[in-house]
Structure 1
């Protein structure tokens, strides 16, 4: 994987990065951004991480079985809403499955740099985190020119044994959580491909214009960043509008009170 790599040394460095993105020619919706709490992690979707070393045929079979089981029982757990779900197709169902913690081939991103930063610092305080970003409109142009448009109703497009093409996609219908997180996704036609590898390959020879970027968040800055994000209302309560968010907020409260107590002790 080839990417442009940088490391932050202060909060100001991240704010300046956000300003550069806002002023870039890509425009408002040009960047897909992802935070990861461990910088050593690659850009693999949750399903790929869980599958491990398997053949494409076996992987597709497992994906099909999980999707069939979910879609056949989904209606048992929610009241009838009158929505015709027969037109959703695999991508629509995978978005729902992803929301309910089922591993899928989708990789989560966001349009908000600060939401991405939250996910980079919220866990693993002992490990460096990372914020990844790339210009989504440029990737879509390159991919469509090379492989054609994403065909939402074509199941065969997602069963490729050879072609690995990553497309940026947005939800057709948001949940409260995905709307709060400004969630977007990438999807790959090859189930076992690392999205970072494919995006890097798509931009090969154009790295000066359209790089895949990785910014390292040092472990020593995570608590400070988490505290600053809290003052911006980038918190579990805003990103996870449910009891789950309340529990996460209490977890962050404990962590930040401990951090401040330690800092106060060091200052004496």
Structure 2
């Protein structure tokens, strides 16, 4: 793993947006990275299901089954596996998937929005999607190639992996991570330019997988002394709860933070 330390707002922009012309993106300046911002650099990449603790692997099926069963009629319009995982994650159910974004400043927002963690250095995890595709099983790489796709859609995955049991039997001794785009369920997913990752075993953590594949990622470290300046300049750029969580809830979160005391 390579940690890249930044010393100023300008330095942060230089590091995050040093994107050379990309042959994989029709010779455009488009990043191959997915980004995830965390308020504390010591935090691992653990799913909400993993963080439940206890026998969390045994409750994954009952959680999803009950989520589908007790949801209000009509609220889950597609209950196929990958759509259901996306919807459940979006609404706070513990799942095996992790949230990422294509937008660097969205990741920086999540790394600097929690004042209770301003005494800790933040980190922006950057995972190279193009490189991670190289460690996928052959049939999944074939799907992307045949579809002329950079990322999986839920429709593509549902066609080839219909159940979690089936997913968990794919190359069990050689783990991999796949990226997929959730459906555009609402403006929140659209504005955050969200991506999701999943691994073929609920007990796996992405941190451990990346430790075994250090060439796939790096981290940009935002020192605690820089957090307030970065936060204020993100607000100036309108990268706020108001934009990323459209609606009255996001507006209220933004106003509470903006007008409230820092600590």
Q: 1:29 to 1:8 in 2, by over 3 A?
A: closer
Q: 1:212 to 1:232 in 2, by over 3 A?
A: same
Query: Number of residues paired by the alignment?
Result: 239
Alignment match, 1:42: 44
Alignment match, 2:107: 116
Alignment match, 1:156: 165
Q: TM-score, normalised by structure 2?
A: 0.81
**In the TM superposition, what are the counterparts of 1:169-248 in structure 2 within 5 Å?**
169-201=180-212, 203=213, 207=215, 211-248=216-253
SS state of the match for residue 105, structure 2?
helix
Alignment pair present for 1:128 and 2:121? yes
CA RMSD of superposed structures (Å): 2.5
Alignment pair present for 1:62 and 2:59? yes
In 2, Cα distance between equivalents of 1:147 and 1:237: 37
1:71 to 60, 68, 71: 68
Alignment match, 2:18: 20
In 1, Cα distance between equivalents of 2:259 and 2:24: 39
Mapped contact 1:7–1:218 kept (Cα < 8 A): yes
In 2, Cα distance between equivalents of 1:153 and 1:23: 37
**The structure with more radius of gyration:** 1
Structure 2: which 5+ runs fail to align? 144-156
SS state of the match for residue 126, structure 1?
coil
Structure 1: which 5+ runs fail to align? 263-268
In 2, Cα distance between equivalents of 1:117 and 1:25: 26
Alignment match, 1:5: 3
In 1, Cα distance between equivalents of 2:140 and 2:174: 9
Mapped contact 2:101–2:107 kept (Cα < 8 A): yes
SS state of the match for residue 46, structure 1?
coil
In 1, Cα distance between equivalents of 2:190 and 2:108: 17
Mapped contact 1:110–1:184 kept (Cα < 8 A): yes
Q: 1:240 to 1:22 in 2, by over 3 A?
A: farther
In 2, Cα distance between equivalents of 1:154 and 1:19: 38
Alignment pair present for 1:51 and 2:48? no
1:142 to 135, 138, 157: 135
Alignment match, 2:152: none
In 1, Cα distance between equivalents of 2:59 and 2:104: 34
Q: TM-score, normalised by structure 1?
A: 0.80
